[in-house]
Each structure stands twice: as structure tokens, then as C-alpha cells.
């Protein structure tokens, strides 16, 4: 398969591995913090890496609107990156986004013609060409720009990929009033409204080439080089059932009647989305102006109607939606109003000055955008977090501020490559004390993966018992651990500061000990 090559590509393709895992520090909460929604301030590459231990394989739909690299720079994004830099920026982020995506999930990326074809090849490489779903063309402008040098640009692309095309399920759209209006009943058929379609196929098959006699006595043959769709016997049956229409005069070319009552109530979406069904840029700017006093808005905000259409096709209520280029906050706002859980990542002060106020208004019941269409009345909540220090220092040691729960999530992910259940559903929370309050619910037994029970001795999780506050594996500590899962017959994996058990004892117990921090290997 063809691959892109650009200046710095090797470094870009290794970048995701070099990014450190960071803590997520709580800054504020709005409404119900247990709703599981997160607004994260910080570089999205760092943030995506830090989300892996909690959300890898859990995100149902990713929608991103990255900078287009089109010389239309504006305040909050550098949208004029040199071409190779733009490719280097996108590649590691796409790699991490793929890890976060569920097996039956999909990613939707808006882009224009300037980088769209390069992005297509890059996404073929990251997601696999067989997982390409569609290139949706969205009509973002409704007016012609007559001062354009050559063409008046009116569209963007939305590249759609699956994590696993065999698992993907996209939902169909409800028939519109316009679509239903195409069905008529000119002959007062008791089966109701119908529309008609051609009876011939565009290939010749001898058994399906014969004359059909209409009510007027006229004989009809399929056009040269074609044949009927049905056999002579089936055609006679359809005529008997009054499913062939010869026109009001009974003399027209025969057509097949298709009844509204017999067709599905849903239709497959097309790859052309005009502004009437998916909104346009001017609409998006008007929506954003209502929600922020900043008149110097993003150059290309996306309308809520567009995001609603994507989430309708790709998700169900309570599914998790991620946008790592949150911009003005549209994706999170729409997901919230539609009853989806969401994670939004935005860099710099813009997360606080733009996204936080907008999403706060959504919780309070803001009535712009799609609110009326989905009967949004307010509610729910989210947590506002920022990226903290790396979990691991440059020499590999654990940062002193790291408590039990975050380290447990990272170690569990390092061993299993799946999120730690105890934190992944509600998302990251303030680091608890190991004793009392929320910390009292924690256990050194992180869980069982396959036939291996994984245990972490850290931060005195077993209480202030010597040596080292319970962080050293001794016979007494082992008895406490075993009591947590007495019927376990598989292997054990224990992380701790040191082990006092002899190698023969570890072998007899089917126990592997890994020393903190030297044996920690988080990819």
C-alpha cells in the first residue's frame, strides 16, 4: 500500500511513543460531575496519551476539525503550518485516536482540498485502507464568491473511517417529508401512496427479453442491449397484483410500483450533504456569537446541525464522543444535548475563555443551535481538567505527587492494553488519599486479566504497616493479598518497592514480582 513520505516523517511516526503520560488535574466542575463528561485544557497529543489508560477502546465516535493549513490563520490556531509540519502534527494524533476508538467505532475528520488527499493516504496507513467508509462532501457555503480567482469554493470533505469495518454499524436516517412527498397515488390504489421505478436492467439476458402487453394492447420490449429485471412468470404475477404501472392511459412504458407502506422507514445517507440538512459556516458563526463575547472567532466553526447528523449516524445515547480539536466547543455541546457522553480537548486559555462558558450555558439550558429540535432543557454536567505533570520523571522514577489510583490505571493499561474498569467509566477524578474517604474503597488488587491477578503495593494502600507502609511484599502482606481473592487458581503479578519472598516461594505461589519503578514499562 502506498505510504506518505515527508521531511521528518520518521520522527512523526515515533512521536506517540515518546509522549509522556500525564496526570489530569481537576480545575472546576459544572453541574453533575458524575456525568462522565470531561473538558481538558492542554496540548491534545499529551492529553490523548494520558487518556489511554482510562478510555482505550471505549470511544464510539471521534469527530475532529483540525487546522486546514490553508493560509487562513486566525488567533486561536496556527492554520498556516508548513506542509511537512502539518503532516507531522497529524500523524501521531491519529495513531492515538485510533487506540481510543472502540472496535465498532468510527472517526470523522473534516478537511478541505488543500490537505484532504494527503490526509486520505495518511488515514489509509493509520486505520487501514479496508476500514475507509466514505468521503462525505459537505456544502459549507450557500453563496457564490464572485471575486474568486478560479472557482468559488463551497465544500469541505468529511473522511470517515472505522476502527474495524467488520464491526462498524452506522445508523440510517429517518425519511424526510420531502422524500415521502415523492410517493403519490394517482390510481387510488388501496395500498396507498407509491412511486415507480424502471423495470429493465442495463444488461442483456435472453431469458428476460420478452414482450409485455399493456392494458391498451400495446406490446413493450426492453430497450436494445437491456432486459427485464424479472422472468416472464414473475412479470405476469406482478401484473396480476397491479404492481406494474402503464400510465394513466394504459399505453406508457411499464414501470414497477413501490409502495410507501412497504419500504423501510429509514434511508441510507448519501455522501452529499447540502447546507439545508447539515448547516453551513455562517450558521455556525451565528451560533457561536450568541455564546461568546469574543468577536474574533474561529475562522471555520462547524454548525451544530452538522455534528448532530454525524452523531445520529454514528452513536446511540450514552455512547462516548471525543473531539481533540474542540475549537469553539460545538462537538461537546451537541453531544451533551443529544444525551451522549463526551470528552473535549482544547489548548491554551481558549479552553477556559471559550469552551468552559459555552458548555456551562449548555448545562444551564441554552436554547441555540439544535436545542429546540432535540427538546434540550438543560442538565447533566462535566469536569474541567488540565494536564498536570508527567507520571514518570525523566529518570523513570514515579513523580512524588502521583497517588495510588492514577498509577494503578497506568500499570493496568501497561499490562493489559485495556482501561482500568474502576476509573474508566466515571473518568479521572481527584487523586484520593489511600486511607479514608474515596481511597478507602481502593484495593491493592487491581483485577484479573486472563488468568492473572494484578496487584499494586503503593502509597501505603494496605495501611501503615511496616516495612515501607505495606509497599514491600512480605509473607504477611501476601496473606492479606491472597485473602482478597482466595479462590484464584491462576498466576499473580505484584508491583511493589521490594520483595522479601525467596525465588522458590514466588515460583510455588505462581507469582511474578515487579519492582517499582524499575520494572514499569508503559508504552
Q: Which of 311, 224, 212 is nearest to 256 (CA)?
A: 212
Residues 74-78 have a mean pLDDT of 50
Inter-axis angle of helices 44-55 and 9-18, nearest 10? 50
What's the CA gap between 265 and 93, in Å, rounded? 38
pLDDT average, residue stretch 94-108? 98
**Residue pLDDT, tens place only, 334-367:** 999 999 999 999 988 889 988 999 999 999 999 9
Reduce the DSSP state of residue 215 to 3 states and report it: coil
Lowest mean pLDDT among 67-81, 144-158, 310-324: 67-81
Q: Which range, 153-157, 280-284, 504-508, has the best average confidence (pLDDT)? A: 504-508
The predicted structure's pLDDT at residue 474: 92
Pick the range with the lowest mean pLDDT from 104-118, 179-193, 498-512: 179-193
d(CA 169, CA 437): 42
Residue 3, classified by CB atoms within 10 Å of its CB into exposed (0-12), middle (13-18) or buried (19+), is exposed
Most confident by average pLDDT, 105-109, 211-215, 326-330, 390-394: 105-109
| Structure-model confidence comparison of residues 519 and 46, the more confident one | 46
Question: 433-483, pLDDT tens digit by residue?
Answer: 333 334 445 789 999 999 999 999 987 776 644 455 568 999 989 999 999
Alpha-carbon span 198 to 185, nearest angstrom: 17
Q: How far apart are CA 444 and CA 473, in angstroms?
A: 12
9-172+268-388 belongs to CATH 3.40.50.150:
yes
| In the chain, % of residues over pLDDT 90 | 62
Q: Pick the most confident of 2-16, 243-257, 402-416.
A: 243-257
Q: Is the pLDDT of residue 428 over 60?
A: no
- Is residue 28 scored above 70 in pLDDT? yes
Burial (CB count <10 Å: 0-12, 13-18, 19+), residue 21:
buried
Beta 381-390 vs 38-41: how paired, if at all?
parallel
**Whole-number Å distance between alpha carbons of 389 and 324:** 20
- What is the DSSP code string of 417-458? SS--HHHHTT---PPPPSSSGGGGG--SEEEEETTEEEEE--
Of 110-119, 179-188, 286-295, minimum mean pLDDT range: 286-295
Residue 50 · residue 127 · CB < 8 Å = no
3-class DSSP string for 103-130:
EEEEEEEEECCCCHHHHHHHHHHHHCHH
| Nearest of 201, 203, 184 to residue 245 by alpha carbon | 184
Q: What is the mean pLDDT of residues 203-230?
A: 94
Whose CA is closest to 456, among 466, 468, 443, 469? 443
H/E element holding 59? strand 59-64
Burial of 238 (0-12, 13-18, 19+ CB in 10 A): middle
pLDDT of 310 over the 80 cut: yes
pLDDT at 197: 93
Q: Please state whether beta strands 212-213 and 200-201 pair in parallel, antiparallel, or not at all (unpaired).
A: unpaired
Alpha helices (H) along 66-195: 83-100, 116-127, 177-180
Name the pLDDT band for 77 (thresholds 50, 70, 90): low
d(CA 302, CA 408): 38
Q: Mean of the per-residue pLDDT values for the chain?
A: 87
Q: What pLDDT shows up at residue 431?
A: 40
Query: What share of the chain has pLDDT > 70, as a percent?
Result: 89
In this predicted structure, what is the pLDDT of residue 385? 93
Alpha-carbon torsion (139, 141, 147, 148), positive or negative: negative
Please give the pLDDT value at position 296.
53
User: Residue 175's pLDDT is what?
Assistant: 77
**How is the chain split into domains, by residue range?**
9-172+268-388, 177-262, 391-515
Q: In this predicted model, which residue has the larger pLDDT, 518 or 259?
A: 259
What's the pLDDT at 520?
A: 78
Reply yes or no on whether the pLDDT at 280 is more than 80. yes
Task: Decide if 62 contacts 97 (C-beta within 8 A).
Answer: yes
Has residue 295 got a pLDDT over 70? no
What is the structure's pLDDT at 290? 67
pLDDT digits (tens, 9 = 90+) for 117-172: 999 999 999 999 999 999 999 998 888 888 888 888 889 999 999 999 999 999 98
449 and 415 in contact (C-beta within 8 Å)?
yes
Residue 52 has a pLDDT of 92
Of 520 and 432, more confident: 520
Per-residue confidence (pLDDT) for residue 82, from 0 to 100: 80
| Whole-angstrom distance, CA of residue 77 vs CA of residue 70 | 12
User: Can you give the pLDDT at residue 116?
Assistant: 93
pLDDT band at 250 (very low <50, low <70, confident <90, very high): very high
Helix 304-314 with 330-337: angle, nearest 10 deg: 60
Q: What is the reported pLDDT for 251?
A: 92
Amino acid at each position: 500500500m502506498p505510504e506518505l513520505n515527508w521531511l521528518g516523517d520518521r520522527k512523526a511516526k515515533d512521536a506517540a511513543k515518546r509522549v509522556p503520560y500525564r496526570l489530569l488535574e481537576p480545575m472546576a466542575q459544572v453541574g453533575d460531575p458524575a456525568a462522565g463528561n470531561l473538558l481538558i485544557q492542554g496540548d491534545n497529543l499529551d492529553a490523548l496519551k494520558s487518556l489511554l489508560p482510562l478510555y482505550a477502546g471505549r470511544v464510539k465516535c471521534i469527530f475532529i476539525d483540525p487546522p486546514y493549513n490553508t493560509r487562513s490563520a486566525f488567533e486561536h490556531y496556527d492554520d498556516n503550518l508548513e506542509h511537512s509540519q502539518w503532516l507531522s502534527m497529524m500523524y501521531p494524533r491519529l495513531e492515538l485516536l485510533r487506540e481510543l476508538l472502540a472496535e465498532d467505532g468510527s472517526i470523522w475528520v473534516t478537511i478541505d482540498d488543500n490537505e484532504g488527499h494527503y490526509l486520505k493516504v495518511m488515514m489509509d496507513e493509520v486505520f487501514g485502507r479496508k476500514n475507509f467508509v466514505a468521503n462525505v462532501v459537505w456544502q459549507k457555503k450557500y453563496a457564490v464568491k464572485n471575486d474568486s480567482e478560479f472557482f468559488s469554493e463551497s465544500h469541505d470533505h468529511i473522511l470517515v473511517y472505522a476502527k474495524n469495518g467488520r464491526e462498524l454499524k452506522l445508523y440510517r436516517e429517518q425519511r424526510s417529508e420531502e422524500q415521502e412527498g415523492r410517493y403519490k397515488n394517482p390510481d387510488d390504489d388501496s395500498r396507498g401512496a407509491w412511486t415507480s421505478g424502471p423495470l429493465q436492467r442495463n444488461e442483456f439476458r435472453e431469458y428476460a427479453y420478452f414482450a409485455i402487453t399493456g392494458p391498451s394492447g400495446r406490446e413493450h420490449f426492453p430497450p436494445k442491449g437491456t432486459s427485464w429485471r424479472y422472468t416472464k412468470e414473475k412479470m405476469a404475477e406482478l401484473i396480476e397484483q397491479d404492481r406494474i404501472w402503464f400510465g394513466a392511459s394504459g399505453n406508457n412504458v411499464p414501470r414497477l410500483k413501490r409502495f410507501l407502506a412497504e419500504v423501510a422507514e429509514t434511508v441510507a445517507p448519501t455522501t452529499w450533504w447540502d447546507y439545508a440538512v447539515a448547516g453551513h459556516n455562517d450558521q455556525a458563526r451565528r451560533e457561536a456569537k450568541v455564546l461568546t463575547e469574543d468577536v474574533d472567532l474561529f475562522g471555520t466553526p462547524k454548525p451544530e446541525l452538522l455534528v448532530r447528523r454525524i452523531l445520529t449516524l454514528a452513536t446511540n445515547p450514552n455512547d462516548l464522543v471525543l473531539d481533540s480539536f474542540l475549537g469553539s466547543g460545538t462537538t461537546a455541546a451537541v453531544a451533551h444535548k443529544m444525551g451522549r457522553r463526551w470528552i473535549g480537548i482544547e489548548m491554551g486559555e481558549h479552553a477556559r475563555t471559550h469552551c468552559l462558558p459555552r458548555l456551562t450555558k449548555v448545562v444551564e439550558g441554552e436554547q441555540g443551535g439544535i436545542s429546540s429540535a432535540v427538546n434540550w432543557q438543560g442538565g447533566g454536567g462535566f469536569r474541567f481538567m488540565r494536564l498536570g505533570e508527567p507520571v514518570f520523571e525523566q529518570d523513570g522514577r514515579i513523580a512524588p505527587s502521583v497517588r495510588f489510583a492514577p498509577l494503578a490505571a497506568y500499570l493496568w493499561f501497561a499490562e493489559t492494553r485495556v482501561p482500568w474498569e474502576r476509573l474508566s467509566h466515571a473518568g479521572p477524578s481527584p487523586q484520593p488519599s489511600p486511607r479514608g474517604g474515596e481511597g478507602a474503597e481502593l484495593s491493592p488488587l487491581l483485577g484479573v486479566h486472563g488468568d492473572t491477578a494484578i496487584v499494586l503495593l503503593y502509597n501505603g494502600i494496605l495501611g501503615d504497616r511496616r516495612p515501607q507502609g505495606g509497599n514491600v511484599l512480605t509473607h504477611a502482606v501476601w496473606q492479606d493479598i491472597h485473602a482478597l481473592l482466595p479462590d484464584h487458581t491462576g498466576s499473580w503479578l505484584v508491583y511493589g518497592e521490594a520483595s522479601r519472598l525467596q525465588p522458590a516461594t514466588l515460583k510455588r505461589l505462581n507469582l511474578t514480582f515487579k519492582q517499582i519503578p524499575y520494572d514499569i514499562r508503559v508504552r
